[in-house]
Amino acid sequence: MAKARTPLSLRLYRGSTRIAGPLTGFMLNRRLKRGKEDPERIGERHGIASLPRPDGPLVWVHGASVGEILAVFPLLGRIRKHGFSVLLTSGTVTAAQIASNKLPEGVLHQFLPIDTPKFMKRFLDHWQPDLALLTESELWPNLILQTSDAGTPLVLINGRLSERSFARWKKMKRTASALLSRIDLLLVQEPEDARRFAKLGAQRIATIGNLKFDVTPPEAEPRSLAALERSLHRRTVILAASTHGGEEEAVIEAHRRLRRTTPGLVTIIVPRHPQRGSAVADVAQQYGLPAVLRSHGYLPDRGTEIYIADTIGEMGLFYRLAPIVFMGGSLVKHGGQNPIEPAKIGSAILHGPYVSNFTAIYGELNRMRGAATVTDAESLANSLQRLLDDPALVERMKESAYATVMRMGGALERTLNAIQPYLVQLRLR
């Protein structure tokens, strides 16, 4: 693909990030204090590798955070079966922690360097990837320009572009076009994503579906699951998964209303960012409902009504405990969280109106009546009450949600077929 001339905006970006490079230490120190960086691996954020490069062809896969990392795990294993080494990079501590527990054998993990010319050069000089696979909408300018200049093919996998991101990029269309011209192939989730990328100047685009439909649902450690089941002792459980600030109030208010008609009700709240656990406990306290934190080693006892699961990598436990799940990030303007995992495990799903990150999935779940929309604490409480009063309806929603997400799979095979020519080239080398 022909490379577009680098516009002034990108030249200014490269210049400013080059100048700002020495100042990144202040930013990283601030993030360290907030628990958003790993102090033992801070060098990786400056492009300093903490591992040696393996011999032979290397495929580099980058995903920003937890959702992207989990989505590419099956793909990593399939690439490894082709005999290639794989480097996985991410940008968050939580994603790194999950990666450390679940990486397929032979896959290495590093933090992505901060997007400055110096740090990216240091990273690329060490790893020398032979193929780069970027996930969703990770369009870091220095990463893309320098990887392309090094002659490394770039492919966007599981690509998506929300309406909000599209609106931002439209204001910088020449910049977007110049970056997208460096990407050899875009494999996107939905026709709407393809349309948006095309309007920004992308050319080689294929719509192949969402890799997240092909991910095995999270497992539950048997002893931990048994301990929770014993402590809950057949009480009615509702789960609020991946909640964001501003949503816990609605969830706890709904619980407060439901406890009058559902004695022994327990609401498990899993904040999207575990470090918010104490803040969620404070909200519960304001409602007169003392909460306990799983990170403190507590199990719910007979007096527990709000159980805050502020841990990492245990979603499989909580989805298996609750037949009804409210998916967070959807009552506030975040765009919603991924409903595929609870649908696969078997949950009736409720969500708010703000689901632009997963429009197609939620639309289909709603159409097939595997999910339903709520708008505030009152409608959440009313919907939960209806489901608690009608177990048969819960079962129908669970079955419909499962059938819907299973029908929407297949993106993994289509992605592998699309990148096969690049893998063949690596094998010929």
User: Could you tell me the two tokens for 272?
Assistant: 């999207």
Report the interhelical angle of 391-407 vs 377-389 (nearest 10°): 110
* Strand 154-159, strand 131-135: pairing: parallel
What string of DSSP letters covers 8-25? HHHHHHHHHHHHHGGGHH
Residue 274 is classified by DSSP as G
Closest CA to 340 of 358, 323, 353, 356: 358
Distance from C-alpha of 307 to C-alpha of 325, rounded to nearest angstrom:
14
68 is annotated as an active-site residue: yes
Q: Which amino acid is at 22?
A: P
Distance from C-alpha of 336 to C-alpha of 362, rounded to nearest angstrom:
9
DSSP-based three-state secondary structure for 392: helix
- Rg of the Cα trace of the chain? 23
Q: What is the largest CA-CA distance in the chain?
A: 69
Closest CA to 179 of 149, 157, 206: 149
Instruction: Kindly report the length of the chain.
Output: 429
Distance from C-alpha of 321 to C-alpha of 350, rounded to nearest angstrom:
16
Distance from C-alpha of 410 to C-alpha of 15, rounded to nearest angstrom:
42
* One-letter-per-residue 3-state SS of 322-343: CCEEEECCCCCCCCCCCCHHHH
Distance from C-alpha of 138 to C-alpha of 64, rounded to nearest angstrom:
7
Q: For residue 350, what are the CA distances in angstroms to 88, 238, 259, 362, 366?
A: 33, 11, 19, 10, 9
Q: Which of 37, 44, 68, 341 is catalytic?
A: 68
Distance from C-alpha of 373 to C-alpha of 293, rounded to nearest angstrom:
28
Distance from C-alpha of 317 to C-alpha of 294, rounded to nearest angstrom:
12
Neighbours of 94 (CB within 10 A): 19
DSSP-based three-state secondary structure for 180: helix
* Contact call for residues 353 and 375 (beta carbons, < 8 A): yes
The residues annotated as belonging to the active site are 68
